[in-house]
Structures are given as C-alpha cells and as structure tokens.
Structure 1
Amino acid sequence: MGDLLEAGRGDPIPRTETGMGKGSISTLEKIGFGMGDAGNNMTFAAVVMYLSYFYTDVYGISPAVVGTIFLSMRVVDAVTDPLMGAIADRTRSRWGRFRPWILFIPVPLAIACVLMFTTPDWSDQGKIIYAFVTYGAMSLLYTAVNIPYCALGGVITDDHRERVSCQSWRFVLVGVAYLILNSGLLPLVEWIGDGDEARGFQIAMGLMCVIALFMFGFCFATVRERVTPPAQNSRNPWRDLRTLAANPKWRIILSITFLQALQFFLRQGAAVYYADWVLGLGATGISIFVTLGVVGKMAGTALSPLITGRVSKRQVFMASTALLILASIGLFVVPGSLLVVATTVFVLVNFFHGIGTPISWALMADAEDYGEWRHRHRLTGVSFAGNLFFLKLGLAFGGGLIGFLLSWGGYDADLEQQGSSALLAITLMLTLIPAAICVAMNVAIWAFGLGDADMDRIRRDLQARSEDREYAPSQDEEGASNGPAPRPS
C-alpha cells in the first residue's frame, strides 16, 4: 500500500511526508525545536524557581495557601489536559496539527504570566483570589501551548536515536532560558524595582516574556511535522485514554514523568531558599548559585546523546539516576559553611539529572511507538497530554510539598534568621527527599523494559507495515488489535 497503513477502523494513516525511514533532521531544526521549550521555560521556570518565593516573600501570602494554589489547579488539569491533547490531534491547518498552537497561544500566555507576577494592593482575601485566578489562567494557557509542543517531539522524526538528539538540543536550550532567567531576573528585580520588589518582578517578567515570544516564533518557523498521527475524528478523548491505558509502557512512562518532575521541581524550588537561608547568599549570590546548577544540567544534557550513541539509553538513564542519588546524599552532609563544596556538589546533582532528562522525553515517544506497534493506533496529542498532566502533577506536588514543609519547619519570611527546623526542612527538600524519589524512579525505568534493540525492531516492523503490508482492522470498541503482537526480543 505504499506509504499508507491500515489501522483501527480502516482509516489510512500516512506514516511520514517522505517515507518511514526518513528519520534524520537538520541541526537548525533541532535548534528550532529546542527554542520552543526555551520559550516555554521563560515562563515555566519562573513558576518553578521563583513563584513560591514571590508568593511568600513579596506577595505576602502564607506557605500553606501557596501549596493549596499549586495543588488545586491540578484538578482542573485532569480534565483540560486530555481535552487539549484530543483537540490538538484533531487540528487541521496548513501548518500541521501542533504548530499552529505554538504560533497563536504564546502572546496570551505572556500576558497571563506578567499578571501572575503582579501584586495588586488589595485585601488579603482579594490577593488570594487574584493569585488563584492568574495562576489558573497561566496554567490553562501553558497547557494550550505545551501539549502541542511536546506532541511535536513525537512527529518531527521516527528515529528513536534522533529523538534523543532532539531532546538534548531542547534541554540545552531550556538551560539557556534558565541562564537568562536566573542570571537576569533577580538583578533586574533589584535594579528596576529600586527597593520595590513587587514592581521589579512585574517589569522583569515582562521583559522575559518578550524574549520568550521571539523563541516561540523561531520554533514555529523552523520545525516541520513528518510522522502523521492517525485521524481520530470519530473517537472521543475518553475512549482515546482507554486505548492508551491498554499500553503498559505508557502507564510506566507516566509514573517516570511524575517522579522525575516531582524530584526536580522540589529541588529547584528549594534551591532559592537554600542559597538564601542555608548558604547566606544575597540576590547576586543566589543568581550565581542557581545559574551554576543550570550550567551543570546543560553539560549533562549535552553529553547525553554522545553516551546514548554507544550505550542503551535505558541503561544510561539508570546509571545517571544512581549517581544523582549519591550526589544528593552528599549534599545533605555538606555543611552550609562550606560554600564552595556545597556549590560544587549542587552542580554535580544537576549534571547527573541533565543526562537523564532528554532520555526520559525520548522514552515517551518510544512508548507511543510501542503502542502503535501493538495496538494499531497512534494518539500523539492525547499521549503527550497524559505525560504533561503527570509532569504538572509533579510540579504541583513539588510546590505543595515546599509550602507544607516550610510550614512544618516554622519558616517565617519576616525573620532575619530561620530556626533549625526550617533550615532542616529546606535542606531535606533539596537533598534526601529528591534522592528517595529517584530510587522509585529507577525502579520504574527498570520495569519499562524496552531497550534500543527493541526499539530498532519496532521501528523496522512499523516501516514494513507502512511500505509492504496490510493488516486487518480492529473489531473491538477500543480500536485495539484482536490479538497481542509479539513482544520485541
């Protein structure tokens, strides 16, 4: 049947623009793909690293309320994320299914982010309501751009090794966004605000959002969609989710996404508090400390495709996570008075995390390939919507844990020196708690099971189906095949 593949209820599925085997893409397009997430993180990294601090120390609401705000939005995400994935899968335009969202949504997202870092002179209750509304608006718009962007990573190439390279470029450029944000935000807040942190945060975040818009524009202009997902117009998103749930690899990837996000966001959110209260650094010192961590993560991310070109990416992920656990334990035992040692170990923690980050995102697409190979359906938007929901769930639990653990430790932003319980809570959030989460994450990646040899066989099978074969459509309600496909060797 040439480049058509019969699936589901008999819908023809074009595999790629130029054939299943065309997996290589240019360096410019990889950079463009990475610029999309760099734009995302000019807003998202601000939420991860500075919003808790802004809410408690600038905006003036309690840590417990902050935790409640972060967690409550995830209830909404449970509905909006799969809906957004289904909408993206069904989008038809001259730019493709996912690229239009990268063109049209970033402007309102930037506006919402600036409003989120705006401090109205209202009553305490009014400020809490304003925080809920603006954080909710930012989260919904972030969903509308980031789910299509993440799905884009599964359709620009069908080569699982090229996907690691794409994701590596992505997270290197995310690191660039973090560098811009970390090296520029607090100094800009201090300079522009001239003693007024609220005004400084508002204007500085406005400048960061302008940079983000240029990044999104570059992504849209340079990236193309090649692997075309199945048309699913006759299906509803809840049925899509049930089809995906039949894929055990996707279920495992959801747990890995949640655990990796939880340990990362918890650690990143605690880093500012740790640099401020445990290490005793000022605004410039905090920026340098966090920026060095970002540089370490970028170095690990850049190294990742070089290692995975020689060793199975699943084995690399497990080894780097084990080293991350050891480095986190080491950071716990280093006293804050040893500034250089603590900073060095913090950089190592981020370095080992950086090695595994692009691999985990490449594994998401691998799980989707496995699902198509086994169940005859490719649900790119909904699949990545599930992953993004669990990522945001990790962010919410991370932000919530920060707020609740700070309250448990007796943290008070008005004190000149925190008590020992508050300092312990901050240190645990940066070290031992993320280390324990990483142990569970390594168990999950071990259970995932698919190595590079398995993915090579799956890719060959999908290519053969596309070029030479027809197979009977599914007869069951969910669109899965009547019998399981053989497991990869």
Structure 2
Amino acid sequence: MTEAEPLGRGRLLGYAIGSVGTGIFSAVPGLLLLYYLTDVLGVSAAVAGVLLVLPKAWDVLLNPVVGAASDREAVRTGRRTRLLLIGAVTLPLLFTAMFVVPGSSPVLAACWVGVAFLLAASAFACFQVPYVALPAEISPLAEQRARAMAWRIVALTAGILVAGGIAPVLVEAAGGGRAGYALMGTVVGLMLGGALVAAVLGTRWIPSSAGPRPLGLAAALRTARGNRPFFVLLTSAVLQTLAVAVMLTGAPYAATYLLGDYGLTSLVFVCLVGPSALAVPMWHRLARRYGTVPCYAVSVAVFAVATIALYPVLNAGATGLVLALSAILGVCYAGMQLLSFQLLPESVHADSGRTGHAQSGAFTGVWMAAETGALALGPGVFAAVLALGSYQAADFEHPVVQPDSALTALTTGFTLLPAALLLVSIPPLLAYRRMAARQYAPAPA
C-alpha cells in the first residue's frame, strides 16, 4: 500500500470486525455477571464484587506486559499476529466456562467463576492490546486512521448491541437460572470466537512500525512517560469508562427492581446502543468540522445531564421515558467512544516524533490497563453501593423483597454516581487539548 492509497472497505472491515468480539466480552460480564452471581448462584454482593475486581486487577498488571511483548514481536516479525491468535482461540472457551458452573454450592460457584473470569481476562488482554495498537500502524494518513476508528466503533457498537440485546433474551428463552446462563454462554461464546478469528485473518496485512529496537517493559514505560498529553487524556477516558461500567452493572438491577421486569434489560440496552451505531458517522463529521476535543467534551456533558435526568424517571417507574433517555445516552456514548479512540492513535503517532521510537503496543498496553482497571472497578463500586444499602442476595428459586435503603442505593449508583464521574472527566479532557498544542506538532484536534 502506498502512502496516498486509501484503505478499502475489505481491509477496514477486516480490522473492525474484531471489535464485535471485544464489544461482546466487554459488555456481557459487565451487564450480567454480578447479577448472575448474586441472584442466580446465591453469592453475596460483597463477595461477588471482589470476584469481579480481582481478575481485572490482575489484568491491570498484565496489559502493559502484553503491550511490551507485542512491540517486541512486531520488531522481530513485522506483525502482531501471534498474540492476537492466542487470545482469539482461548477467550471464547473461557467465556463459556464462566457461565457453565458445576454443582450447587455458592462457594464452589464463586471459586469457579472467579478463576474462569481471571483466565478469560488474561486471554482478552492477549487479543485486545495488540488489536488496539494496530490503528496507529494501519495507515500513515491521519484521515485514514480516523476512518478506521469510525469503522471500529460501529463494529464495537454492533458487538455490544448483540451482547446486550441477545444475551438476556437467551437466558430467558432457556427458562432463566443456571440453564439459561449456560445456553447464553455457549451461544455468545461461539459468536465471540468467530469475530476474533476473523479479525486475526483480516489484519495479517498490517505492517508494524514498532522500533527501531525492541524494548523491555521498564524501558518502554520510561519512554512513554514523557508523553504528558497522553496521560491526561487517559485520565479523562478512565473516569468515563468507570462511569459507564457502573451503569452497565446496574442495568439488570434497575430493570428488575425499579421497572419491575428483568426482561426490560434487553430493551433498555437496545435503546442505549442502537442509536449509537447510527450516530458514529454524525460524530465523525462534526469532529472534522469543529474539532475532536470540543465534540468529545459535548458528548460527555450531555451524557452526564441525561444520566441525572434518569434519577426521577426511574423513581417514577416511567419505562417510556427511561427508554427515551437511554437513546440519548446511546448517541452520546457513540461520541465518547469514537472520539477518545481517534485521539489515542494520533497521540501515539505524534509521540514517535518526540522520542524517535514508535511503540504503539506499549501505549495501548498502558491505556488498556487503565481502562481494564476502570471496568473492574465498575462492578465492584456498584456492588459496594448495594452492600451499603443492605441489598439482600438470593438464588433464582428464592427471590427476596429488597429494603427501601437498597432501592435508594441502587438508583443513586445507577444515575448520580456515574454522572458525577463524567463531569469530573471534562477538565482533564480540556487540559489535554492545551498540552497537546504545546507538545505535539501539529497537535491532534
């Protein structure tokens, strides 16, 4: 491919389809795993929260290691295929295992899910870190890199939509309980594997520009730490990821206890994610006209305001208004996802001029470690809020009536807490723009 040659649709699709798989794995555990532990397997909210945080905490340590390993592989072979393939083959099997729990003991169930989730998170890191590193290398042209990210976010949205829309339906179709989750884990695991393997095959052509020499983890991090705008941008993105993770975890609880129907989880999710797929081209055009950072800040601010508006609407049990606000959130979520991931490869690409060393794997390893930590904290934070509200865990056959304190905690954790995190993320985002203008030449928009 010459420098002036645009990326064809086949190559764009070959890269983007991997995000269908990453969207599935990012969405399903965040949406259903805490509820599965507390309301199907009978694990207490406090223990369930720990089980969800620990594997992700391990991933925070693992992601930078995988990033540095991906850069070393890229220097040696000119590709990042090996780690991608390892993750693509092992993750679907481990995902399915998370939802196929033997025996009836809550203690055994907790141990099984915790170990399976730990291994699945590790497999996900092997795929996700080199996968996110590829956009910085997919084209020398900024416009083509932005185009690839737009395709990727559409695919990511499709994966999240499939996961959030189909997974609860599959659970219900098999009668709920353990059997329902086992069916869901098997079917969704097959879909996950198909998307990841297709991406491995579809990205083999992308040449890596890492180097000029392989760096160990410590050396890679020393080289990366001078990129101050990158870390300010990362701070903003982490706060937003944490907010979304908290809301994602709370969705089935809100549907069950505030709207009175667990089945509404799928409908709320479809209303949230469906519009975001259509909104990606709109945000792409707006960013080209008005700048990436201003549009990014607007999407975060509107998301926060709509989240605050959910509080009284949920207390009133107004399902129609909840769905309408979910659609607004979906449009804003598309902007947050697209624009943050457009700035990431541009920040990495610009940094190579500062250091003379291209290491997109190291940067994406750090990014994914921080994002993984935020995704891990989301269920843990929401579980802690439930525990403070005296939420009562139960198995599927013996539901309980929750006290008013638990319902108040649930509503607050699902709305006001994420809104506060989103608003706090805006000042670092604006600071990134100022810092990038000084350090990068030219600065990302």
TM-score normalised by the chain length of structure 1: 0.84
CA distance in 1 between partners of 2:178 and 2:248 (Å): 22
Structure 1 residues 120 and 426: alpha-carbon distance in aligned structure 2, compared to 1, 3 A threshold: same
Displacement, 1:298? Answer: 2.2
Deviation (angstroms), 1:254: 2.3
RMSD (Å) for aligned C-alpha atoms: 2.5
List alignment gaps of at least 5 residues for structure 2.
none
Q: What is the deviation of 1:311?
A: 1.4
SS at match of 2:406: helix
* Corresponding residue to 1:440 among 418, 424, 443: 424
Q: 1:142 is matched with which residue?
A: 124
TM-superposed deviation, 1:451 = 9.6
**Cα distance, 1:107 vs. partner?**
2.1
TM-score normalised by L of structure 2: 0.91
Give the greater-gyration-radius structure (CA). 1
Alignment map for 1:28-427 (pairs within 5 Å): 28-92=10-74, 96-121=78-103, 123-192=105-174, 194=175, 197-223=177-203, 224-226=205-207, 228-233=209-214, 235-283=215-263, 285-334=264-313, 335-414=315-394, 415-427=399-411
Which has the larger helix fraction?
Answer: 2
Count of paired positions: 439
Q: Distance in 1 between matches of 2:53 and 2:170?
A: 30
Corresponding residue SS for 1:18: coil
CA distance in 2, matches of 1:169, 1:339: 32
Contact 1:156 / 1:226 at 8 angstroms: preserved in 2?
Answer: yes
**Matched residue SS, 1:61:** coil
Shift of 1:444: 0.9
Q: Deviations over 1:119-165 (max 9, x none)?
A: 22154433332222111111111111111111112211233333333
Report the alpha carbon displacement of residue 390 of structure 1 after superposing the two structures with TM: 0.5
Q: Verify the 8 A CA contact 2:98 2:185 in the aligned structure 1.
A: no
**Match of 2:410, as an amino acid?**
I
Q: Distance in 2 between matches of 1:53 and 1:294?
A: 20
The DSSP-based 3-state class of the residue aligned with 1:401 is: helix
Q: 1:120 to 1:423 in 2, by over 3 A?
A: same
Q: Which amino acid aligns with 1:228?
A: S
What displacement does 1:207 show?
1.2
CA distance in 1, matches of 2:364, 2:413: 28
Secondary structure in structure 1 of the residue aligned to 2:53: helix
> How far apart are 1:200 and its partner, in Å?
1.9
Contact kept, 8 Å, 2:56 with 2:372, in 1: the verdict is yes
Contact 1:117 1:201 in 2 (8 A): yes
- Matched position secondary structure for 1:310: helix
The structure-2 alpha-carbon separation of the partners of 1:418 and 1:433, relative to structure 1 and needing over 3 Å to count, comes to same
The alpha-carbon deviation at position 96 of structure 1 amounts to: 4.3
Query: Structure 1 residues 456 and 391 mapped into 2: Cα distance closer, same or farther (>3 Å)?
Result: closer
CA distances 1:193-236 after superposition (whole Å, capped 9, x unpaired): x35x2122122211112122222233233333246121432x32
* SS of aligned partner of 1:232: coil
Identity of aligned residues (%): 22
Aligned-partner residue type, residue 424 of structure 1: T
1:368-407 deviation digits (Å, cap 9, x = unpaired)? 1232122222211111000000011101111111111111
